[in-house]
Structures are given as structure tokens and as C-alpha cells.
Amino acid sequence: MKRNRNVKIVATLGPASDTYEMIRALHEAGADVFRLNMSHGSHEEIRARHGMIRQVEKDVGRPIAILADLQGPKLRVGTFAGDSEELVEGASFRLDLDPTDGDASRVCLPHKEIFDALEPGSSLLVNDGKIRLKVTECGSDYADCEVIAGGTISNRKGVNVPDVVLPLAALSEKDLKDLEFVCALGVDWLALSFVQRPEDVTQARELAKGRAAIMSKIEKPAAVKAFDSILAVSDGIMVARGDLGVELPVHAVPPIQKRLVRTTRSAAKPVIVATQMLESMIESPMPTRAEVSDVSNAIYEGTDAIMLSAESAAGQYPIEAVKTMNAVAVEVEGDPTYRDVIEAARRIERSSVADGIVSAAREIAEATDIKAIACFTQTGTTASLVARERPQVPILALTNHIGTARRLALTWGVTCAVTARLERFKQAVVSGARAARELGMATEDDQIVVTAGVPFNVPGSTNILRVAPCAERLIYASDPE
């Protein structure tokens, strides 16, 4: 099943998509990656969903990526004697460590780390920023605030602290247990929430021990400021616009999104644009025109993937949401302006032999009648470098590692095929030609570009490029055909 688009679609699973039949229907509608949200569902429910995805993968014969999204620390106020209170603009309000029920003048904030980091002038946002507080005085166990934007505050509403780097690890006790569980289960990507510094990513990588690739969610101003150093230690990036839009002015998010997408692309790492892409389709079979424009803009930017959250996890129209994303992607990528934008955004990166090989592969493919670029990859790096070029022809990644094939299901334009272990470049050429024919990318009368590394099966050794006819076959006795 070869998609007729390059951008990938991530669909979150939940109560609305909790059966084999629904997961398969979502995949056939266009979902390339399934997200397991560790904020919801028990380990047994997650295990069941994982098993159903792998069964779909086996039945359709196509590698599918599984992304486990860790919850991260959740900062919340305590409870109120009357369950809620009204805060009036200009009034005073105290946050403290006193566990007793709150009232109109105070409430517990059971996170000492926040008080240790606050300074006068710091902002506190409650309930997704609907209530805004400004710290006027603070100590090790309290913060007196002025209500800048009032409203109803109720039990256990979330708190955001946008102005300071909090002395909190990105991995809570729950996250540590979830990380080990999903890595042992066999997920392909691990999305890390609450990233503030590169050390957060390094900790997760050490715990994952190579069992899953690490994707950093950029959802805090501190992560935006430290983005280059966070990107350097991450395998991928998710632009998580929900919390980002709470902690930063909403008008600042679009240019940040563009910069993060472009920078991540230049690093040859996959990037996902997420949150509220088709929010109205939770309850409506049709999206709004603004939502379609939002999805389209992310595709024009060259993002690797676009993501559905509640739309596919808990909405009434999960299949329709995936079909809508697929239709928008096909339409956008068929627009001549799309190629103009992609070409204009390309940055020439030629600091290694592999960079030069993949750049030459794209130029040859686009200057002649080449139908596909076939690359042999152990870790996925070569395929990611080819994808960074955003070529006009399909990218065919061949690997003998199923884990590599699954992780590449998230990368722009890459179609993966799992092959036997190869020892000679001639075998690579023939395997690439066969896969291109079988996947409908080329016929025996066509040519493809093949890239690989010699010696074979050595990661990071891409050093050969050949233009090969798709009719080519092995002529010795061990010919696998």
C-alpha cells in the first residue's frame, strides 16, 4: 500500500478507536503512525492497543510506527470548599502549600518546586490560561498574586508557569514506569513531555537504552529558547501547540512553528505538527475552513507528519478525520505552489560524503526520467538524509531491520520495505529494482537511483550512487528471484 502523498498522518487511539476493525480502517484511510497517549488508559489497555496495531501491520504487510506519548509532570491546584470560586480582576489571591480546601482568597498548590523558582513579576496561568495571575510577593511556601484575568477556578485545574525554568524533571514517577513498560512492549517512538533542557532528553535516552527513538515535545518557552541544543540530542521533534499557545502569546506560535519545522528538517530529523488540527471534527463530520488551512500550512512548511489527537481518540468521526487529512495532503502536494515553497525552503547541507550522495541522488532524479530513489539503510539515517532533500520522486527505504522500517514510517515521503540481509551492492541494486516494481513505483522499462554504503551493513557508510534499470536481475546461482 503506497500512499499518494508524502506527509505522514499520526492518529491517536482511544475509546473511539479501540478495536482491531477501527484501527485497520484508520490505517486504510491514511494513518501511518498510531499514538498511544499514556495520560489515558491502563497498562493493560495500552498493551491491547499495541497488540492490535501489530496485528494490523502483519495483516496489511506494511510497517506501522507506534508512538507512545508520556504524560509528563502535571501541575495542578488543590481543591476548594465549594468546588469552585470566582476570581475578580485586580483582586489578591494566594497559592500555598496548605492542604486544606481553598476559598476565594487562597488555594493549595502542592508543588514546592514552583515556589522555589518563582520571583516577583512571574506569571501563573490556570485552566489553560483562562485565569492569569501575577506574583507580587513569594517565599518558599507561598506566592501572593494579583488577578490579571479573572474567572472561575475549580478543583485540580492545571497550572502553567511560562516565565521560569522549573526545577522539575521531565519524567515523573508515572512516566518512569510508563517508559519502561512501553519500551519493553516494543514501541518505536517515545514522545517526551515537559522538555525544558537537553538534559531532560538525555535522561530519557539513557532509560530507553536504544529500544525506542526519542521525540521531544516543544511545548514550553524554555524549550523554544534551548531548541537547538534540545534538537541536537533528540531523534525527532513534536511542535505541541496546545501548551505552547497557553504559555506564549497565541500570535507568537505560528512563526515559532515555522522556525522549528524548518530547523528540524535541516537536521534531517522528523517533525510532527500537533494539536487542534481538526478539532471541530470531534463532533462534526466536516472541518472548518480555518482548520483545513491550518493543516495545509503545516504541509506547505514541509512538516514530516500532521497529528490527530481527540479527533481520532474520542471523537464521533475518527475515520472521516483521517480521510480529511489525507484529502487535504493530496490536494496540497498536487499544487504547483507546493513544490515552489519546498524548493525555496531547502537548505544545502553537504558536510559529509553521505550528504553529497543524497543531494546528487535528488538532482539526478529530478534532471532525468528517474522514477524513485532507493536507499539501503541500517539505522534509517540515509533515508532521513534523502527525505531532507524533499525530492520530487518517491523514496524507497530498504532495510533488514523491522525496527528501522517502523521508525521511518514517520518520515516524509519514505516508503519502507524489509529485505533479507544483503552482502553485495549488486544484490542491493536488484532488491531495490524489485521492490520498486512490486510497489508500483516503476516498471521494467524505468530507471531508479540506488544509494548504499560499502562495506555493507555498516551504519553511516553511504558512499555509492548508481542509476539502475528496473529490469536488472542477478545472474548467478544464488539469485533470490
pLDDT the model gives residue 349:
67
Tell me: do 68 and 88 sit in the same domain: no
pLDDT the model gives residue 427:
85
Residue 479 domain flag: no
Query: Active-site positions?
Result: 35, 76, 217, 275
Tens digits of residue pLDDT in 3-14 = 899 999 999 999
pLDDT the model gives residue 16:
96
Q: What CATH number should be reported for the domain holding residue 413?
A: 3.40.1380.20
Least confident of 30-34, 189-193, 359-363, 427-431: 427-431
Tens digits of residue pLDDT in 141-164 = 999 999 999 999 999 999 999 988
Residue 346 domain flag: no
Q: What CATH number should be reported for the domain holding residue 112?
A: 2.40.33.10
pLDDT the model gives residue 158:
92
What mean pLDDT comes out for the span 195-221?
97
Pairing verdict, β 142-149 and 65-69: unpaired
In DSSP terms, which residues pair with 53 in a beta bridge?
A: none
pLDDT the model gives residue 50:
98
pLDDT band at 18 (very low <50, low <70, confident <90, very high): very high
Tell me: do 188 and 242 sit in the same domain: yes
Residue 89 domain flag: yes
Last residue of a domain, one of 338, 363, 397: 338
Tell me: do 55 and 88 sit in the same domain: no
Residue 370 domain flag: yes
pLDDT band at 464 (very low <50, low <70, confident <90, very high): confident
pLDDT the model gives residue 479:
42
pLDDT the model gives residue 1:
60
pLDDT the model gives residue 365:
92
Does pLDDT of 222 surpass 50?
Answer: yes
Residue 343 domain flag: no
What mean pLDDT comes out for the span 399-407?
96
pLDDT the model gives residue 338:
96
Range of the domain at 150: 84-160
Tell me: do 176 and 42 sit in the same domain: yes
Taking all residues of the chain, what is their mean pLDDT, rounded to a whole number?
93
Residue 165 domain flag: no
Tell me: do 153 and 177 sit in the same domain: no
Pairing verdict, β 142-149 and 92-96: antiparallel
Tens digits of residue pLDDT in 24-42 = 999 999 999 999 999 998 9
Does pLDDT of 351 surpass 80?
Answer: no
Does pLDDT of 456 surpass 80?
Answer: no
Q: Taking the model in full, what pTM does it have?
A: 0.93
Tell me: do 116 and 216 sit in the same domain: no
pLDDT the model gives residue 475:
40
Tell me: do 104 and 227 sit in the same domain: no
What mean pLDDT comes out for the span 75-88?
95
Tell me: do 203 and 255 sit in the same domain: yes
Return the closest-CA partner of residue 383 out of 345, 352, 411, 424: 411
Tell me: do 68 and 203 sit in the same domain: yes
Does pLDDT of 345 surpass 90?
Answer: no
Last residue of a domain, one of 160, 180, 210: 160
Last residue of a domain, one of 110, 134, 160: 160
pLDDT the model gives residue 44:
97
Tell me: do 247 and 136 sit in the same domain: no
Tell me: do 187 and 244 sit in the same domain: yes
pLDDT the model gives residue 161:
92
Q: Tally the domains of the chain.
A: 3
pLDDT the model gives residue 354:
86
Residue 277 domain flag: yes
Tell me: do 119 and 181 sit in the same domain: no
